[in-house]
Structure 1
């Protein structure tokens, strides 16, 4: 089969690879796969993997061959939960399989879904409702991750929020906050195109990072925000997220940082009694919620889809995504 894989840092290719051998699993014919920022980090060697590695964990497709349990008939359209857990450790037994110390992610520890086929445990598949277009379903995995993240924090009607960074994750967090009754959401990014998109998707204020403090002060009467979502994963935005949060506020760290700021003043965390919350992956229930939100139109992903590429143009997709900061969600259209 054909697949997009990273051969070594900074070298991606479209290559002929062996079909997956789904021993004890189902075989899924991939239809759409979204490129995530973590795929880019793997491709650039920031996140180390064993090479070569077929990338991709945001996957929707159709069952080509059922697994031994026969839960899904051939042809069933499914979303793939890309995290594989051991099912035996304390975290798994406590319904926190996303924290399994032996967990594996498609496209990182094992070959992923930027390919014609991917093997997946039937227990990690979710049927996609007919109401959801296939392109929209290609964004369901990242929505599930955002749903999971917001389950970890208290979100109440009437609160104020800020989202720093308006990639796919940031724009989904924005919509979820508004859907949950947050009255003011300030959306922060350097990209004018993404600011316009955020306004379309419900942000009450959009601004450049240089102007964020003034805008947040205005909508909160100088108090600072109740909730700040950091959705970039670099030191400067982490620092800004802490600065924009108000007393007893929560900073949700959706962006992934391998290293933090070289020098960071934690005094504001102490002075404001801030809660810093990390979030990792998602659970099957989060993906089920994501599919319901898409099926009912409560969250919109079509405006976020910037471009689609065929599998054979996978290298170009990565190149364009890294060159053009206005792109939000890029899909590989495989089947």
Structure 2
């Protein structure tokens, strides 16, 4: 028995191919994939900007689907809609032992370190599957990227009524802004793209949006209790401290190659809390699921583009070259 899969054979080459269907395995469940969110990581893999990735690779880690069998613990029944937590962890390293598997020392992410979900079926550890009620598969496929923003907000411990700045209005930045707003913060979004800011304003109309200036020319230096960086740009990450009020927290959602560099007097006089935020935990997935069910997250506005499995071969490369016109594109299997 074979199944269809989207294979990135090498940078710039995406093909629809056939490969064997995955076999069942102890402690794992087979999932019939229904929707796949396309992540910035997928665009980078396609474009060749992931230098340590081994090609060929089946991408895809933002996934929803139907369980093809029941879980041993009874949490999941055959046919249940599930969200996939794509972080495969060792369970034995220090991070896992202290309850932080999101930064497992031996982590493998579906679609990055191992083949992912741009296929008809996938086998996933039972513990990485979360049953979903009260929403459609399309919305469920957006839970993972939203959980990354929700995790950063939870780590920030921002206070209700405080002022928060999100720099970078891509999907992760918009997710962070949404969950910071849910916590009661006043939100400002900055980006270099007017088009991205316009899209963000449709998702979160209560937020203030501003076209980014050089950080040393901004009108709102030392203004924000919490600053979230979601730019993926080392220069922006180094400059973001300038926006932070004394006593504030600087949360780095982005991860890039390069060195963070702050003037120590500027960092020290604020008594800055510097927070790295990586991936997400089950608690964040649960929070996102609850917020979507409660109507606090406008999932329809987030899903700006959709394509079929067959047409993704053409559409994904097009979107990779024009990401400023979309928030989240999804593949319907």
Instruction: Verify same fold: TM over 0.5.
Output: yes
Match of residue 42 from structure 1: 45
Deviates more, 1:69-78 or 1:230-239: 69-78
Are 1:33 and 1:57, in contact at CA under 8 Å, matched by a contact in 2? yes
Are 1:22 and 1:120, in contact at CA under 8 Å, matched by a contact in 2? no
Match of residue 143 from structure 1: 146
Q: 1:13 aligns with which of 15, 25, 38?
A: 15
Give yes or no for the alignment of 1:283 onto 2:287: no
**Partners of 1:44 and 1:276 in 2: CA distance:** 31
Match of residue 329 from structure 1: 328
Match of residue 80 from structure 1: 84
Q: 1:192 aligns with which of 172, 191, 194?
A: 194
Q: 2:115 aligns with which of 108, 111, 120?
A: 111
Change beyond 3 A, Cα 1:2–1:225? same
**Partners of 1:32 and 1:80 in 2: CA distance:** 11
Describe the SS at the equivalent of 2:275: strand
**Partners of 2:73 and 2:114 in 1: CA distance:** 22
After superposition, the C-alpha distances for 1:261-300 in whole angstroms (9 at most, x for unaligned) are 7x76555323433222111111112111110011001122
Deviates more, 1:238-247 or 1:118-127: 238-247
Report the Cα offset of residue 333 of structure 1: 0.6
**Partners of 2:216 and 2:140 in 1: CA distance:** 36
Give yes or no for the alignment of 1:157 onto 2:160: yes
Describe the SS at the equivalent of 2:20: coil
TM-score by length of 1: 0.90
Structure 2: give runs of 5+ residues left out of the alignment: none
Report the Cα offset of residue 233 of structure 1: 0.9
Report the Cα offset of residue 44 of structure 1: 2.6
Describe the SS at the equivalent of 2:310: helix
Structure 1: give runs of 5+ residues left out of the alignment: none
Describe the SS at the equivalent of 2:306: strand
Deviates more, 1:148-157 or 1:67-76: 67-76
Change beyond 3 A, Cα 1:276–1:13? farther
Match of residue 255 from structure 2: 256
Are 2:215 and 2:240, in contact at CA under 8 Å, matched by a contact in 1? no
Q: How does 1:161-310 map to 2 (within 5 A)?
A: 161-183=164-186, 185-200=187-202, 201-210=204-213, 217=220, 223-260=222-259, 265=263, 267-310=265-308
Give yes or no for the alignment of 1:129 onto 2:128: no
After superposition, the C-alpha distances for 1:92-114 in whole angstroms (9 at most, x for unaligned) are 12111112212211001221111
Q: 2:57 aligns with which of 38, 53, 56?
A: 53
Report the Cα offset of residue 320 of structure 1: 2.3
TM-score by length of 2: 0.91
Are 2:215 and 2:242, in contact at CA under 8 Å, matched by a contact in 1? no
Describe the SS at the equivalent of 1:23: coil
**Partners of 1:327 and 1:99 in 2: CA distance:** 29
Change beyond 3 A, Cα 1:54–1:254? same
Q: 2:24 aligns with which of 15, 22, 25?
A: 22
Q: 1:100 aligns with which of 95, 98, 104?
A: 104
Are 2:199 and 2:327, in contact at CA under 8 Å, matched by a contact in 1? no
